[in-house]
Every structure is written in structure tokens, then in C-alpha cells.
Chain A
Amino acid sequence: MTGPTCDDVRAQAADLALDTVSGEERAVLLAHLSSCTACRDEVRALGTVVDRLVRVVPPEEPPRGFEDRVLARLADQPQPLGRRRSRLALAGLGVAAALLVVALVGAALLRPGGDTRQATMVSTRGGEVVGEVTLTKKPAGILVAVPGWTPAENRPYDVRLELRSGRSVALGRLQLEQGYGGYGLGKIDPGDVRRVELLTSSGDPICGADL
């Protein structure tokens, strides 16, 4: 079975940007986008149009006390994770996740100015910024950080890498705990990685980051 062509995907790019396609259609389209930068850029451009359309909604004063309720909720939260990159891997992590991350990327992440690359992780559906991914060189590994993003906080996801050669590599299954997880890259050179994606068990990308 062959996938859709670029023309097929371009025809449905608006539907994808607006999130008006069915789950099955979405899976087919996203599979194409995962390996086609031009079509991905097209959908991203249309996503920007959608964002601007949302802005036509007139402002409206919220109910009395809204500001106080928001600020009270913010004040009740523990210090959010990832505020300082040098502490990204450790703040608030469960013991198992912290050990895993430290084993993979510890020294590189904890040393300011270490040999790392970071990029914003964006949800495939809707283009929402949900966290970030960090690649480390020594040891070679990735750290996914999507704390607070409900779909991914404590679930396993398959990791797929897109290399600069255009080749896709299924890295393995990543267990996220409190939105954090790490994985070793084995023999893959971190410098060759241009995109990291998390996939559901059915193979649908749920979020990704361009490095």
C-alpha cells in the first residue's frame, strides 16, 4: 500500500491545520508529514492562518474574581519544572525517572554550556507548544520534557528520529514519568538528528520537535 502524494496532502492541508479530519485520515496525513519537510511547512503556514483567525474574537471581560483565581492557582503550584536548563533533568522528577535521565544525559545537562541541542516540542494536533527535547552528545541521548501536558505525562510512547539523510529510525519505547523521559541514542550521531517525534502505540505522531 502506498501513501498519499504531496498533491494529495496539499489538498487536505487546510483540513489538517484546522483539525477537521477524521482520525484515520489524520494518521495517513501525519505519516506523510513525518517524512516530508515541504508539506510539513505548508501545514505549519496554514496553522498560522488559523491562529490569526482566532484573534478576530473580541475581548470579553471575564467573570468577577477571575484574575484572583488564576493567580491563586499559580501560587499553589510547585515551582514548574524546566525553568533553568541546568536543572531541567532533576527538578521534581520521580526517583526512577531521575535515575534514568541522569544515567543518560546527566553530566552533559548539568554542566552549563555542555554539548547539548534543544528544540521546542509541538503537538501534532493543533501545533501547541507542549515542552522541549534535548539532545546530548556525550553520552549520546535525548531527554523529552513535556511536564503538564496531560496526553503524555505518564505514558509510554515510541520514539522516532528523522535523520538529516532523510532516513527515519524507530528508536524504541520511551516511558514518560511526570512528563519526563530519556533514551540513549546508541550508535546514532546526535548531530545527524533533525527531528524527534513521539508516536502512539498505533504509530500516530503525537508531538515532535525540529532540531
Chain B
Amino acid sequence: MVRCMHDAADDALLAAMAAGDGDAAVVFVRRFQARVFGVAHAVLGDRDRADDVAQEAFMRAWRHGDSFDARRGSVVSWLLAITRNLAIDNLRAQRIRPTDQLEAVIAQVAARDPDPASAAMLDDDRRRVVDALRDVPHEQKRALLLAALGGRTAQEIGEIENIPLGTAKTRIRTGMRRVRAALEDQSPVSEWDER
């Protein structure tokens, strides 16, 4: 049965898991565990805490899977948003500074010419987002990613970057506007593209 589930679409798999199908749960966890753990680790910079947060993300997905609405986005975006929110809540509770792990991810994304090994790991949608970020000035890209991936407030980004609060806000907002425009210029992404 697990073998049959391997080819199931993400939303069908989620629905089956949410309905209590153990085989679907196995395939769902295997399919997304590296993505979920990657986000948790990038935000938290600690593998033990990332492990806890990633586990909790799957628990939330299981509990709320039957309320997932495909009209609002893909399963992987929904799952990673849950992971990000949990990780940021965990981070804020501990008041931790930006981690080396987060800095490494930002540096990798910010690189205009990623190394071939990194480029090969990009799926279609991630490549589109990286492309959308490519022409955003470095300081805006950094501020935007510190906020989006690291959960830092504008105030905190001002302190990290040693810039006034107003400048931090401007960098975040301008970066966001540019990325949004670039993403909207691209063709839509299908669920199958994203896997």
C-alpha cells in the first residue's frame, strides 16, 4: 500500500493522512521531512530544537489536514508556513540572535551564481523564487530574508545591520515589492511543478 501511495498527489496524500491512513502518513513524512527540517533548522540553527519543531509541524499538518484549502496554495507552501511560524514562535520565546545557519542560507540564496551542486538541488518553484530575488539589491534581499526566514522584526534588523529603523523598514518593503513583481511576471506554478 505504501508503494501505491508514493505516486499520490500532495493534497490527496494529506487528505488520506488526515483521515487516519497510516500508509499515507509514512509517505507524507518521507516526502516532506527534509523540506520541513531544513526550514526549522535554518530558522533555529539548532538541530535538536529543529527536530522538535519539525515533529510538531507534522502533528499540526495531521490535525488540520482536513481543513487544508488547495485554493489558497500548495500543500508544501502550507506545510512550510506552519513550520516557519512554529520555528519563529520558538525563536522569539528564546530571544536568540540570527544563527550561522540562517546566515549561510541567506548567503547561498544571495549568491548570484550558485555553485553547480546547489543549483542542481533547486526544484522548479525554488528556482523561480531564487530568480525573483536575483535582481533585488543585496541589502534589500538580506533584510527581506532576515524577516521572512528569520522572523526578525524591523527593529531587530535595524540593530543587526546597524541601520535606522526607517531604513530597515524601507529595505524590507522595497525588497518585498520587487520580489512580488518578479514572481507575478512569471508563469503560474502547478502542484506538480512544485514536487
Contacts and interface: CB of A to CB of B under 8 A. Distances in A.
A170 to B, nearest CB: 25
The 10 closest A-B CB pairs, nearest first, are: A59-B34, A62-B37, A60-B38, A148-B63, A14-B176, A53-B148, A126-B85, A51-B77, A18-B147, A20-B153
A125 to B, nearest CB: 8
B64 A129 contact: yes
B13 interface: no
A167 interface: no
Contacts of B18: 80, 83
B64 A66 contact: no
Interface stretch (A71-79, A93-101, A136-144, A196-204): A71-79
Interface string B108-121: 11000000001001
Contacts of B108: 58
Interface in B141-158: 144-145, 147-149, 151-155, 157
Contacts of B126: 55-56
A70 B55 contact: yes
7 contacts: A18-B176, A19-B88, A53-B149, A54-B83, A120-B69, A128-B60, A129-B68
Interface string A1-29: 00000000001001101111110000000
Nearest to A85: B66
Contact of A15 (B69, B105, B109, B173): B173
Contact of B154 (A15, A60, A148): A15
Interface in A137-196: 147-149
A56 B144 contact: no
A132 B68 CA distance: 10
Contacts of A46: 176, 180
B35 interface: yes
Interface residues of B, number: 73
- Residue among A49, A71, A121, A148 with the highest chain B CB neighbour number at 10 A: A49
Given A53-B145, A79-B20, A120-B68, 4 more contacts: A55-B77, A57-B42, A125-B85, A129-B67
Interface in A27-85: 45-46, 48-63, 66-67, 69-71, 73-75, 77, 79-80, 82-83
Interface string B128-168: 01100100000000001101110111110100000000000
Interface in A92-121: 120-121
B55 A73 contact: yes
A211 interface: no
Contact of A70 (B20, B33, B50): B33
B51 A148 contact: no
Contacts of B130: 56
A208 interface: no
A123 B89 CA distance: 14
A66 B33 contact: yes
Nearest to A151: B89
Nearest to B108: A58
Contacts of B42: 57
B176 A129 contact: no
B148 to A, nearest CB: 4
